[in-house]
Amino acid sequence: MGMMSGKLGILKKILTSLPRQSKPSLITTVWSQDSPSQLKNYSLQNPRLVLFSFQNLKFLTLFDFDSHIVLISSFICFADMARNYVRFLALILAISICCEAAIFRPISESHRSAALDLFKPIDGSFSSLEETYEALRTFEVLGIGNKLDISASTCPSVVEVLGSSSSNLKTLFYALRNQRILKCALKEEILKGVSSKLKAAVNSASALPDFYHSIGGLVLIKDQTPEANVLLDDAEGVFRSIKALSQSDGRWRYGSNNPESSTYAAGMAFEALAGVISLAPSEIEQAVVATVKNDVVKLFDSIEKYDDGSLYFDEKIVNGHEHQGPIFVTSSVIRGVTAFAAVASGSLKLPGDDMLGLAKFFLGIGIPGNTKDLFNQGFHAIDSIPSSNCPFIDSERPAQGVSVSSVLGYNTPPLTVTLVQASSSSSKSASIIENQELKFDHDSSFHVLDALPKSVDIGKYLFTFEVVLNDSENEKVYATGGKTQVPIFITGVVKIDSPEIAILDSDLGSIETQKKLDLAGENSVTLSANHLQKLRLSFQLSTPSGKAFKPHQAIIKLRHESNVEHVFLVGNSGKQFEIILDFLGLVEKFYYLSGGYDIQLTVGDAVMENSLLKALGHIELDLPEPPEKAARPPAQPVDPYSRYGPKAEISHIFRTPEKRPPQELSLGFLGLILVPFIGFLVGLLTLGVNLKNFPSSAVPAIFAALFHLGIGAVLLLYVLFWLKLDLFMTLKALGLLGIFLIFVGQRILSHLASTSAKLKSGDLMTDFDPAG
Amino acid sequence: MAKKLSIFIAISLVLSLCDAFNLDNPSSRRILVLLDDFAIKSSHSLFFNSLQSRGFDLDFKLADDPKNALQRYGQYLYDGLILFSPSVQRFGGSIDAAAILDFIDSGHDLILAADTSASDLIREIATECGVDYDEDQSSMVIDHTSYAVSETEGDHTLIAADDFIKSEVILGSKKIEAPVLFQGIGHSLNPANSLVLKVLSASPAAYSANPNSKLAQPPSLTGSSISLVSVLQARNNARVMISGSLSMFSNRFFRSSAQKAGSSTKHQKSGNEQFFTELSKWIFHERGHLKAVNVRHHKSGEVEEPGMYRINDDLEYSVEIFEWSGTSWEPYVANDVQVQFYMMSPYVLKTLSTDGKGLYSTAFKVPDVYGVFQFKVEYQRLGYTTLSLSKQIPVRPFRHNEYERFITAAFPYYGASFSM
């Protein structure tokens, strides 16, 4: 015991020190949903922890004494003394435990957080009383009832519904259910009124839901106020009229005029019948009760099964609109059967395996996502347990177990856990442990395996546990499920020795270059080889106890610059692992791709704690040129990041304009060219203009001036034509100017002609010189 | 009369429901969910709830339900399809692999989750989408260096993957801190298909093999070429997500804590929920769906859009781009939208500048080559829908009177002719 308490001391140390654990590598696996401090609570309240201890190593495993065990966590710690000299001998064994294909997890913190997520009251209340009840009940089941404080907002509506005379049966029923949990302040008269109303409803009811709601309501009143008169006068008659709706296969009809039978209705009927029995003033006739028990057994014949062994009920006829899903139906049946079993005299024999299958079904759902499912999952869980006649316990739910024992005062019965067998799963040979009983420690509620034999090496093992109840009376109450096989991985550090890489000459086998590798650190070997040489990689692997170890993954990978990869398995003989790559035989496989190859070694196994992926270095291969018919290397996927980037901008290159002389040069030459013209004008000015012949009288002078202006305008028009006007505008303007010029020209010419005629007829003919 | 009217309304409602991603009314979309078993509806309900809370109308059916149909009277009944039925050998009703591929070809979205039990039918659909599952039926992705620390899984098939695609549009702007838990089969991408992308890749040490038997030959898939989750965006912008694990969508994985082997940080919640919420937003076009409106171009200094440009004109081009956010069209902001002035090959390729409110504009000079050009915006970015705009515009040379009228170099000649 002293040794035991020492272990527990260490264990407690681990548990309490977890939050500030600075070396998490010491803990192979940690509780998945809860923080370690919560784990501590569980471990102390739940007799579901198993502590394995082996030499100086202690293994703690949350363990379930039921079959289909949920192993929640495992810890490793090694004693201080051991740490000093065991460290590099790789004796660090850890235990991690794995269930079979299907894993059934208990109700846990994730359910609680899901419930808190899903049931969110809007403005402090839910939309209906039914939803309110589902929320309250789920929170109660999950042990977080105090997190939902809606009594202030819900109680008025509960009281209102109960007091109102027009409420229908279903609303009354849910109001009473809420009342049970919320315990609103309520006058006795109201309950009395409700109970008489419900009684009247029972007597007049013909459909199953009416029976269900009214009887359920009466039972709730009976539970809350024992003094209320809720006993049914004609219990036997009611019982028979409900029974009349049953079908030959154990299912029920909703009403006498509804021919469809339903499994869901069967659950309702069982619950209603249980209510009738508890409300009956005298005992119901045994024969009638027995027929109902028969119905239950028949109903269980229609149970459906999943591959993983979980069982469920479902409606046979799937009507799109009415289909409620297996959770809903199964939950209803379980509720009904457990309620019935609780009140019916004589035991109801149901196979324990069925119960375990149903439990698996609910746990297999995982975390339901909608409120109805969560409600049904949780509802079933709690409702089935208090009924002690039901041969069923939800021991797969540690959290659940806690609430059972605290709320309803049920203690887990004393039991024995035996490790029947532990054998290596790979070799079918002898088992390492046989028939060892685990010690139960009352302080911590652990089942403890004192010592693992020294022959246990790392590897995958199959542990077979058996749970036996100490008290045979309890076997009527609890199902244990017989033997359970649990695959267990015992992990450790594998020792890697003498890793080296070498280039060999093909024909002689002589070593050209050889390099030692350090698989714990960084390597960057640079090698070069041609197709006539070989690459040899070798290393040794051994388990902590010095035996040969063959990992699942021992792969060498050569990756060319163009991302073409080649993967080879490294074979072994005993401890020695060696691979020889003869490049001559591999040139075709390598697609004749010369160039740099990266070498990568991967060694890994599930039980190997130091699985590694190492880049060893680089080899420069010089392979022959590919022949014409050689296979092309496969296309490699395009890197998506480069494929989608923006493109480089393009701007157009415009034609360069022709080269022209500088402006100054042109202007200079323009000046030079204008020089003679300017000289001409200057000469003209110095010579003087003879205007003697210009008409001197007013009218002809005007015409002469207009004529000259017209000529000037035509010249100006020419300039404009050259500068900007087009031909049409020029011709138009020229036409107008021409008419004007013809007119004024004719006038001035006729004037000149008359003047010259006067001179001819006169004496001074020579006086007129038109040339000026 | 009222009856006729109501029939007409009903028909038009049906018609409006059946389109693929509808630019005018992209909300209220219907999704068909095909399951192997109705239990998945509950065990994966967090994923379904996140879709429903975003306004999707999910229609759950068993995969072998004989009433299953994707279309009726030539109209599609759904806008998206979720195949959570890895083991189905044959779909019920009128659905088969060809019908699903037609569904994608008409622009609809698909989420496909396989598992170790993936049937040939599921593999065929995946292959058509450019994804090849490991041919070995019993293989799983194993990773001895970056597995998820777990109390119940000892064979390192539960992987904590954190090699995500670097794309904010696909996985959202918030970084996924926690690793994503994966347990299932790996797949590789068909290198010939350039549209399919690895969203979640395995670590370099991963390999695909049967965990319960010894390796007889090198694994067909190794390292980070193993894809765990891939997406495909087809040329018609239909989006497809392919995953090798159905359980990674489950409530259990969504709510589970995650710790990668060798890492000291333990995340209270795995990254699965964030990963799939964000990825499903992308799949169902709530992110990364672009539209371009108001494509305008004109000569600089003018407002009217001309029918033709002359070479060497200065022009301004603008386009407005918006992104669908799930509820409304938001301005799309990026600095890599490019316009091409294109005739046989781009003559001008210019990056547009943005005002941050969705308007992209630039100005450039028309090249001195005449012909029929196009303004082209070919916007292809990782995760975004492809924008492909083109607008034809002719470019003419100078008219006879548009050349330079007076050349300085000719001034001596002008002077000569006038002074003669």
CA A745 to chain centre: 105
What span, in angstroms and rounded, lies between the C-alpha atoms of A344 and A271?
11
Residue B392 is predicted with a pLDDT of 94
Q: Which of A4, A740, A104, A161 is nearest to A397 (CA)?
A: A104
Q: Specify the residue for token string 């041609």.
A: A530
Contacts of A456 (CB under 8 A, 6+ apart): A54, A93, A432, A490
Residue A59 is predicted with a pLDDT of 29
What span, in angstroms and rounded, lies between the C-alpha atoms of B23 and B377?
19
Per-residue pLDDT, averaged over B63-80, amounts to 89
Query: Does residue A97 contact residue A126 with C-beta atoms inside 8 Å?
Result: no
Quick one: CA torsion of A524, A529, A533, A536, rounded to 10 degrees?
10
A633: burial class by Cβ within 10 Å (0-12, 13-18, 19+)? middle
**Which B positions 371-390 lie with beta carbon below 8 A of chain A?**
380-382
What span, in angstroms and rounded, lies between the C-alpha atoms of A438 and A441?
9
What span, in angstroms and rounded, lies between the C-alpha atoms of B254 and A110?
10
B139/chain A closest Cα distance in angstroms: 13
Strand B30-35 relative to strand B57-62: parallel, antiparallel, unpaired?
A: parallel
Question: Which tokens is A190 given?
Answer: 């109201």
Residue A6 is predicted with a pLDDT of 37
Per-residue pLDDT, averaged over B258-273, amounts to 87
Q: Mutate which of B35, B59, B144 to test chain A, going by most A C-beta atoms within 10 A?
A: B144
Query: Does residue A475 contact residue A515 with C-beta atoms inside 8 Å?
Result: no
Q: Which of A438, A435, A462 is nearest to A450 (CA)?
A: A438
Residue A339 is predicted with a pLDDT of 75
Its pTM stands at 0.71
Strand partners, B132: B188
Q: Which of A696, A730, A698 is nearest to A713 (CA)?
A: A730
Furthest C-alpha separation in chain B: 111
Task: Write out chain B residues lying below 8 Å of A100, CB-based.
Answer: none
Residue A413 is predicted with a pLDDT of 56
Question: Which tokens is A323 given?
Answer: 């289909």
Q: Mutate which of B58, B67, B68, B152 to test chain A, going by most A C-beta atoms within 10 A?
A: B152
Q: Which of B235, B278, B271 is nearest to B387 (CA)?
A: B235
- 3-state SS assignment for residue A8: helix
Do A602 and B207 make contact, defined as CB atoms within 8 angstroms?
yes
Q: Which of A506, A565, A560, A496 is nearest to A536 (CA)?
A: A506
Q: Specify the residue for token string 């690895």.
A: B198
What span, in angstroms and rounded, lies between the C-alpha atoms of A645 and A608?
43
Query: Does residue B38 contact residue A306 with C-beta atoms inside 8 Å?
Result: no
Angle at A752 between CA A751 and CA A755, to 5 degrees: 85
What span, in angstroms and rounded, lies between the C-alpha atoms of B133 and B227?
9
Q: Which of B208, B244, B207 is nearest to B228 (CA)?
A: B244
Type of residue found at A763: D
B46/chain A closest Cα distance in angstroms: 5
Question: Which tokens is A121 given?
Answer: 């009251």
Question: Is the pLDDT assigned to residue B18 strictly greater than 50?
Answer: no
Residue A482 is predicted with a pLDDT of 59
What span, in angstroms and rounded, lies between the C-alpha atoms of A430 and A424?
8
Q: Mutate which of A104, A360, A566, A613 to test chain B, going by most B C-beta atoms within 10 A?
A: A613
Query: Does residue B312 contact residue A613 with C-beta atoms inside 8 Å?
Result: no
Strand blocks (E) in A196-276: 252-255, 258-262
Residue A289 is predicted with a pLDDT of 78
Q: Which of B251, B276, B264 is nearest to B176 (CA)?
A: B276
| From B144, B155, B254, residue closest to A98, measured CB to CB | B155
* Residue of higher predicted confidence among B299 and A116: B299
**Other CB atoms within 10 A of residue A522 CB:** 8
* Residue of higher predicted confidence among B260 and B151: B260
**What values do phi and psi take at B44, rounded to 5?**
-115, 25
Q: Which of B129, B126, B165 is nearest to B279 (CA)?
A: B165
Q: Which of B219, B186, B190 is nearest to B201 (CA)?
A: B186
Residue A14 is predicted with a pLDDT of 33
B409/chain A closest Cα distance in angstroms: 5
A97-132 as b/e: b if 16+ CB within 10 A = bbbeeebbbbbbbbbbbbbeebbebeeebbeebbbb
Q: Which of A646, A656, A654, A648 is nearest to B364 (CA)?
A: A654
pLDDT tens sequence across B72-84: 898 899 999 999 9
Q: Where does B221-271 have alpha helices with state H?
A: 251-255
The helix/strand count (H/E) of chain B reads as: 9, 26
What span, in angstroms and rounded, lies between the C-alpha atoms of A27 and A77?
7
Residue A320 is predicted with a pLDDT of 44
Question: Which tokens is B395 given?
Answer: 């470019």
**Other CB atoms within 10 A of residue A4 CB:** 17
What span, in angstroms and rounded, lies between the C-alpha atoms of B270 and B252?
10
**B43 contacts chain A (CB < 8 A):** yes
What span, in angstroms and rounded, lies between the C-alpha atoms of A183 and A169?
20
Do A604 and B255 make contact, defined as CB atoms within 8 angstroms?
no
Q: Which of A48, A110, A47 is nearest to A73 (CA)?
A: A48
Question: Is the pLDDT assigned to residue B1 strictly greater than 60?
Answer: no
Whether complex ipTM tops 0.85: no
A143: burial class by Cβ within 10 Å (0-12, 13-18, 19+)? middle
Query: Does residue B350 contact residue A651 with C-beta atoms inside 8 Å?
Result: yes
Angle at A548 between CA A546 and CA A552, to 5 degrees: 130
- 3-state SS assignment for residue A588: coil
Strand partners, A468: A416
A682-697 as b/e: b if 16+ CB within 10 A = eeeeeeeeeeeeebee
Residue B372 is predicted with a pLDDT of 96
Residue A697 is predicted with a pLDDT of 83
Do A647 and B257 make contact, defined as CB atoms within 8 angstroms?
no
A564/chain B closest Cα distance in angstroms: 11
| From A373, A567, A604, residue closest to B145, measured CB to CB | A604
Task: Write out chain A residues lying below 8 Å of B403, CB-based.
Answer: none
What span, in angstroms and rounded, lies between the C-alpha atoms of B162 and B143?
13
**Which B positions 210-239 lie with beta carbon below 8 A of chain A?**
211, 214-215, 217-219, 222-223, 225
pLDDT tens sequence across B90-111: 998 889 999 999 999 998 999 9
Question: Is the pLDDT assigned to residue B371 strictly greater than 90?
Answer: yes
Residue A738 is predicted with a pLDDT of 93
How many CA atoms, within 13 angstroms, populate the side-chain half-sphere of residue A81?
A: 4
What residue of A is the nearest CA neighbor of B384?
A: A644
Do A666 and B191 make contact, defined as CB atoms within 8 angstroms?
no
Question: Which tokens is A209 given?
Answer: 């839901």
A422: burial class by Cβ within 10 Å (0-12, 13-18, 19+)? buried
Grouped pLDDT means (10 residues each) for chain A, 772 residues: 37 32 26 29 27 28 28 25 25 27 45 67 71 74 67 77 76 80 76 79 80 83 74 77 78 76 81 82 75 80 74 64 64 76 67 66 55 48 30 26 27 62 66 70 61 70 71 58 69 85 79 80 84 88 84 90 89 87 87 90 87 88 86 81 85 88 90 89 84 81 91 92 88 93 91 84 54 44
Query: Does residue A289 contact residue A241 with C-beta atoms inside 8 Å?
Result: no
A174-186 as b/e: b if 16+ CB within 10 A = bbbbbbebbebeb
